[in-house]
Amino acid sequence: MPNVTPPNEKLIAGLRKALAGPIAPTGAKGMFAGAGAAALAQQARDDGYVEDTPPAAGSRAKTVPVRLTEKGRQALADTENPKAVLEQFLPTLKAIESAVADISRQLNAVLPLVEAALGRLQPSSPKAARSLREVLQASYDELTLFTDFRTGFVPLPRMYQSAKRAMPELTLAKFHHEVESLRDAREIELHVLNEVHRAENPELAIRREGRLYYYLFWKQR
């Protein structure tokens, strides 16, 4: 069995630097520096705490970086204060955090553009056409929100104007026909305006037998 030297303080200090990833065995930015650096690096290799990393393709570097082995990690775990080990990882973790934050910002900037592009590519699903009755009912519900019409009596001209905005192809004749059909079905009531001179847009209301049916009241649904 090979004679393995227990890691001393200098060896542990060097192994700690290798926690962040491959590193030069010696030098100012390496695992070991100063007098005895080469001997310590060789000892770390001989004892199996580090191993040479495969050289990158085309690399002409004179010094081959080393990396911790599982045995090296275990040696640190057995001798190190966990706080010191975590502190060695801190710069690497902060660098990763910064890179992830930068990627996240880029994704947030690009995502709306991608969504907009996909929206243009996807065929828009046609809205289900509403029936005239549904349009009239929606117009009535909207108009009765106004103070003037909270009693439920809505002028037919206002109903027609509102419905036509929702259904541009609606004609006055079709509007009148639908209104009278709803009255015949007893869903609505039509009320006469006696003071005709007060009517706004009376031509949009319904005239029958000399009377001006001007107000629509939708019965409770």
3-state secondary structure 164-217: HHHCCCCCHHHHHHHHHHHHHCCCEEEEECCCHHHCCCHHHCEEECCEEEEEEE
Lowest mean per-residue pLDDT among 3-12, 25-34, 64-73: 3-12
Work out the average pLDDT over 153-181: 95
Q: What is the pTM of this model?
A: 0.43
Alpha carbons within 13 angstroms on the beta-carbon side of residue 14 total 29
Label the pairing between strands 188-192 and 206-208.
Answer: unpaired
Work out the average pLDDT over 125-144: 85
| Torsion-angle region of 52 (φ positive above 0: left; ψ -120 to 50: alpha; else: beta) | beta
Q: Which residues are CB-neighbours of 15 under 8 A, at least 6 positions away?
A: 7, 31, 44, 49, 50, 68, 72, 75, 76
List, for residues 107-129, the tens digit of each pLDDT value: 777 776 776 777 666 555 455 67
Using pLDDT thresholds of 50, 70 and 90, give the confidence band for residue 6: low
Domain ranges of the chain: 9-80, 82-119, 132-218
Distance CA 112, CA 116 (A): 6
**CATH architecture under which domain 9-80 falls:** Orthogonal Bundle (1.10)
